Structure 1
């Protein structure tokens, strides 16, 4: 009986709506009001429906009660009220029946009506999308407003990301839709901040900036939070120059930096190794009343460690509490940064002391602490100590993670102990710690470096078959080793496999192929790879250009290499390697004047001559029999604070032994040793040692 009543109530409700819709739509204005007293109609309908429905289910009569204040209702208002009443009860079947009359404006009204019940609003929107009730994007914009107002940012970002990435809606079009629905939804500026974040998450950098700029031009700004998000995105992309330009633009608009803004500035300065400026930002924050947090200090400490200045890092850690007025204290991240700094410089003993100090202050070492120390021991060849730390970590109740295993496996492969690496991998799987794509990359690189390229290719194929390939790293490793073996057809096959499996080759992929072809002297193929790179909008970096310059020089196309260097100068894209490669090309082709002219150009551009530059010129002078000039250049090199290496030593000693007497050779050897040069043992044994013996015998 209950089921029958429910079904009957649905039929009556649906019939009542269509009766009213028909009357409103088919009657002249005012006709219904004059000929059908709605109060009377409403009461009669109520009496009629009460015969068939329980008291608690007479919903539509209340929804359609028409008073004196509503004498001429329209269709949308009637359907709107019916929708709201039935949506509260989640009566989706009823909604499907009236779906042909659901316009975009009506859907928007319903979503906004339930903005205090975001779950219901989102359910309704999902129903709209599933049933394809509306092809308009307006309901989507409305539900985004509702989600942002209820602080459900992840779901709002997901919807905006879908609009931008899947439906191809431009960020400015999304902005227009959000602006148009802003008032009706009673929204807040946070929705525009969320749009900027959605753009950066989707990697649409220019779109994010367009949104910021468009709002500013129309007098409605995003908040400092959106700017912070955008600036952080630029730093992640490595666009530091643009970061500084847009930071200046932001400040010029009158924005006041928050702690997060200052932290981004500190990060950028540390990235550029401008540590003193980063420290000055800390003082600027303190002076301006914006107290740095532990993240601010940790970034400077980490920057000092990465720069090798561990003394500065230690001093900063000791002064954190003093500088912050006892509001900030070192945490586990602080200690881990310094432990990592000592481990990377090979001073694991000092790192262990920091760990002990960390425990004394009441901060327990975490998995990252142990992973860093184990990597430090393994780096120094002390794999047994690394295993010992792993046991200690387990005793403390900390389980080794994939990072820990990856670190030890990597160093076992570097030592050539492939058997131990395999045992450790088996142990890893037995403990249900499953390898990730970094593990597979380590395996492939380990096999390749130990001469097992065929096994590495087999493993790679198995990984690809099981869809475990997460990035291009393993492909890049294989392509590198295949190019070294000059098996370029195999490299091309790997490149094709990347596209087949949905992986886009990156700059490293193309750079490896171009470098391989250039070293082989096949500049034509290198140029073809370069052109393919440009077609897929992959921007070449300086390493790739330097490889091309090297290839041109090897084929004695030095003039073409010079033209490329000139083009790079106009792009402000060059380094010491660029000019060293060109100088070597000039020297090989016998263009000594051009080589020294390039030296002058380096000085003009502020590029310091390095050991490679001097060795190239010394070798060229020796080949042309300019003994004294080569010797003087070596002395100039020392005067500039650049110590000659074994290459310098072998070049000069070998040449002087062929063209000068023994006393001059011995004097040259003694001079370089006194200046701190470590002689090449083979050269000393073959040339200098016999001369010394002969000198002693002749003196006797």
Structure 2
């Protein structure tokens, strides 16, 4: 069998401890004395004896002798460690690890393995050799090698874990268990090394391993992370056909995956079929309900989210902190502050204290609505009740203050965080400040320089996002020469520009009447495969702004052919035709847009209505245009409607009356 342990091979390498010898030697005498003292728990006498009689061989014999009493072994080894004159050998510690694994003391074994590698300086392969050479069927079991893999993954060393697996397979003809592979693959997912996960998963299957429910769950989890929900469901059915029944984790992952791609109805259908598909063995738990409640909150269906909460309670599953936090966020997302605060009161009544996650959500949405006063009150309450700010609170504060025009306050708060050493090295806060400073327009460059200088003083280099934010800021300010200069600096620093940065430069060139340069750049990007709809829309807008009609139409037809068009593309053309006075042609472009399955939006509405009004069309024609857009599913822009359509309707109504 594939996973059968090569006991004969290991037995040949085993070291037999506690043997009886024909003649006693000093180590035998010491061994006998230690055993007597240890059995009788005479610790003081034992400590005196240990101070001058210790060798690694002797310690290994004692550990082996008392292998059925792991607590006693640990007590003995602790006293051994207190002897300054003694330094245990690799083999000695490996014997101790074997005993711990055989006694199912896995955490203790992990501690000893980590000590070997991180404190004593042995490599993972040296530890493997030590465990292999000290393997003794009387005191050892194969799980020891699975535990070594777990030790490697526990401090994030995936390469070492893999080397242990392969070394055992190729050098020692030994195959670790499916559980060890699952542990290894799970840590690859946690490290977000998904490509590596798929390669090693395929390799494992090629070795003939039979997947278990945990393996299938890892595959489903990875597919859901990659938004490949239909493939995850396909694996789910393959799992059922293999005779392996899913557990509640399997269902929860797929339900959560469906909710993440906004297919909440699919998640709900699966939720209703959990009992049927598991032969009545599996019921939803709090995580199942919370996933669905979160999904419905994200799409604004608070009625269904509340009904699920009621159903949860009827099943005997009490809503927990996550449930309430999700509902609070859902109500705030819809602008229902009163309902959100009522839920917070209900939490307190049920002895569930709102935590910083709940408060972060409240503060975020208050800042989003521009309610600075209420956000400040909530923040003061957090401070008063000793609710700790975390990195998300700090991010929300800096972003919220900046977005609402309180940039000096945001800068001062950031300065205070730096002074308290509370700023992460991910550069998120600094990039946020740079972004909003560029959009403030008032002394922005000098303040941006201050933020960047502060970063460098703290040992933080500019990352791709920082460079991209600066380039985009200069481009939007019309300072394309500065944007190009920063781009050159970025290249010199060895940073690789991404598509977002290239799009910023293309957009800046087009808006600064350098559309010919923009076209050259886009052509080069096409050769590299580095372009998307945003790139082409920027160029199309540049052609239209420069009245390059033929270039604009040629590009549009190429975009249509390549299926690289969206609502923005059509709105650019609608706006262009309206600007040259061809309202009818603008409407025809809108009709093409509808034929392509894309609904006009409020921007389309504003462009057509505003330009129709400027061209002084009659009342009936303007109302007909408005009605046509509404019939096509457009929600009129409120400001445009109030400015143009509303007054006209009122005026016409007064004439009729």
**Would you say same fold, with TM above 0.5?**
yes
Is this contact kept in 2: 1:125–1:140, CA < 8 A? Answer: no
Deviation string 1:549-568 (CA, Å, 9 cap, x unpaired) is 54565563325532552365
Indicate how the Cα distance of structure 1 residues 166 and 449 shifts in structure 2: closer, same or farther if over 3 A, else same. farther
Deviation string 1:22-76 (CA, Å, 9 cap, x unpaired) is xxxxxxxxxxxxxxxxxxxxxxxxxxxxxxxxxxxxxxxxxx9997445xx6x9x
**Counterpart mapping for 1:296-375 below 5 A:** 296-375=250-329
**Counterpart mapping for 1:42-81 below 5 A:** 68-69=22-23, 81=31
Residues 1:558 and 2:518 aligned together? yes
Partners of 1:479 and 1:318 lie apart in 2 by: 48
Is this contact kept in 2: 1:118–1:147, CA < 8 A? Answer: no
Q: Secondary structure at the match of 2:133?
A: coil
Residues 1:183 and 2:133 aligned together? yes
Name the structure 2 match of 1:676.
633
Partners of 2:318 and 2:293 lie apart in 1 by: 14
Is this contact kept in 2: 1:121–1:143, CA < 8 A? Answer: no
Is this contact kept in 2: 1:208–1:230, CA < 8 A? Answer: yes
Give the Å deviation of 1:343: 1.7
Is this contact kept in 2: 1:618–1:633, CA < 8 A? Answer: yes
Deviates more, 1:523-532 or 1:391-400: 523-532
Indicate how the Cα distance of structure 1 residues 505 and 252 shifts in structure 2: closer, same or farther if over 3 A, else same. farther
Residues 1:247 and 2:201 aligned together? yes
Picking from 574, 577, 602, the partner of 2:534 is 577
Picking from 548, 571, 579, the partner of 1:615 is 571
Give the Å deviation of 1:395: 1.9
Indicate how the Cα distance of structure 1 residues 694 and 239 shifts in structure 2: closer, same or farther if over 3 A, else same. same
Give the Å deviation of 1:292: 0.8
Structure 1: give runs of 5+ residues left out of the alignment: 1-63
Picking from 440, 444, 451, the partner of 1:485 is 440
Give the Å deviation of 1:446: 2.7
Give the Å deviation of 1:604: 6.8
Partners of 2:62 and 2:559 lie apart in 1 by: 69
Structure 2: give runs of 5+ residues left out of the alignment: 1-17
Give the Å deviation of 1:231: 3.2
Is this contact kept in 2: 1:196–1:230, CA < 8 A? Answer: yes
Give the Å deviation of 1:227: 2.9
Partners of 1:600 and 1:87 lie apart in 2 by: 92
**Counterpart mapping for 1:17-416 below 5 A:** 68-69=22-23, 81=31, 89=43, 116=70, 119-120=74-75, 123=78, 133=87, 148=101, 150-154=103-107, 173-186=123-136, 188-218=141-171, 219-416=173-370
Give the Å deviation of 1:479: 3.5
Is this contact kept in 2: 1:343–1:373, CA < 8 A? Answer: yes
Give the Å deviation of 1:184: 0.7
Deviation string 1:366-401 (CA, Å, 9 cap, x unpaired) is 111111112222222222322222222222222222
TM-score (norm 2): 0.77
Give the Å deviation of 1:456: 2.2
Deviation string 1:208-236 (CA, Å, 9 cap, x unpaired) is 44444444444433332333334333434
Deviation string 1:172-216 (CA, Å, 9 cap, x unpaired) is x41243134323144555444444444545444444444444444
Q: Which has the larger radius of gyration?
A: 1
Partners of 1:670 and 1:67 lie apart in 2 by: 104
Question: Number of aligned pairs?
Answer: 618
Give the Å deviation of 1:258: 1.6
C-alpha RMSD over aligned residues? 4.7
Partners of 1:465 and 1:291 lie apart in 2 by: 54
Indicate how the Cα distance of structure 1 residues 351 and 204 shifts in structure 2: closer, same or farther if over 3 A, else same. same
Is this contact kept in 1: 2:471–2:484, CA < 8 A? Answer: no
